[in-house]
Homo-oligomer: A and B are copies of this chain.
């Protein structure tokens, strides 16, 4: 990068908001995905959409790559500056612009931390439902760009189901606005949804209008153990068939349960093939009725033990077990890959069985847990990235896991995005026509391919 460009960038955002020391650059050379890192040439921290527009116009003119980034909790290497250039750090733009209770809407800048948004709307009896595991650090801009989900996805969906409108700066610095506060809006192409989940490859999001929901009046949590995986699978299907949509319906397989028990001593039997964790929410009468029905379904499907939380302490205990899954697995080995292969919910037992078979065959350690109700599993591979022979086996296992997910009618990503981590599988999901269409859209909106180049749709041709 020319030093003239650095000076221009300092002129736009202020010298104190351009970082170029090696120590600073190192901090922005990676995200939460193992195995990917690259030094940027500058970290630029804009304070307004107008500054973003000027930075992009300058970068586009100079054909320098720009990597938009929030807190860097990304699990698919989506924010790693693989070609150097500029990391565009959006965390200074962290104002909640408006909470509009009459229309159940919030407007916020991309740097707002998701947990802070939820705290701000809580006093109005409202929630912003997407709740990724990283809710305390991840930014709204990052979660919207990656379409982050979370534990409540079954009932409440992922980020895209809440994004109503966006202010976006295009690659050449033009600013456009999509969507707005209207619940129904069908004018024009759905640019709001196109930019949402586009992982920073089509534009830089500078303002976000999201839908809020009334906070549920009541909730009840349950935990059930199953000697047989298939019974757990049948129970999941039977809950949905009973017309109950729990807020949360999670599964942990035997490997995960054993590891969790070892790590957190929550009193789980380590010989069960699966544990289901369930929460229903809504108005008190619904919660009463639905939870009774869930217990009935669990019993009918051979649950060995069923615990129903009677108070907040018991609820916390149930979810502590689920929250321990990732840290417990991560503690086993130096490196953790959390994948998010997702299948139709009726295929969850098939998928878990396939993952176990793949793990055994390649001699790698995989614990599977995740959002069974929506088919979004987290096969979590623990390994040592310094061991080349093991990593060969890990990458082979990963290839097979994603291939099985697609064979079962699933998708490469339920909530973590593609980035570069899963780029090599994209053509098997979308085919040549799908990839060509996506690349044509990328090229149409970012002709010089400066925005997060090489990610999601691959290299520009």
Contacts and interface: CB of A to CB of B under 8 A. Distances in A.
Contacts of A187: 411-413, 417-418, 422, 426, 429-430
Copies of this chain present in the complex amount to 2
8 contacts: A103-B346, A182-B342, A184-B342, A184-B375, A185-B413, A186-B416, A188-B426, A188-B434
A197 interface: yes
Contact of A182 (B214, B285, B289, B410): B410
Interface stretch (A17-25, A114-122, A435-443): A435-443
A445 B441 contact: yes
Contacts of A412: 187
Which residue, A186, A197, A241, A409, has most C-beta atoms of chain B within 10 A? A186
A414 B332 CA distance: 53
Interface string A184-199: 1111111101101110
Contact of A190 (B157, B177, B193, B457): B193
B444 A441 contact: yes
Interface in A186-238: 186-191, 193-194, 196-198, 202, 214, 217, 237
Interface stretch (A168-176, A353-361, A381-389): A168-176
Contacts of A183: 153-154, 157, 345, 374-376
A452 interface: no
Contacts of A315: none
A454 interface: no
Given A193-B194, A345-B102, A182 B414 contact: yes
A409 B147 CA distance: 25
A313 interface: no
Contacts of A267: none
A443 B102 CA distance: 40
A440 B194 CA distance: 13
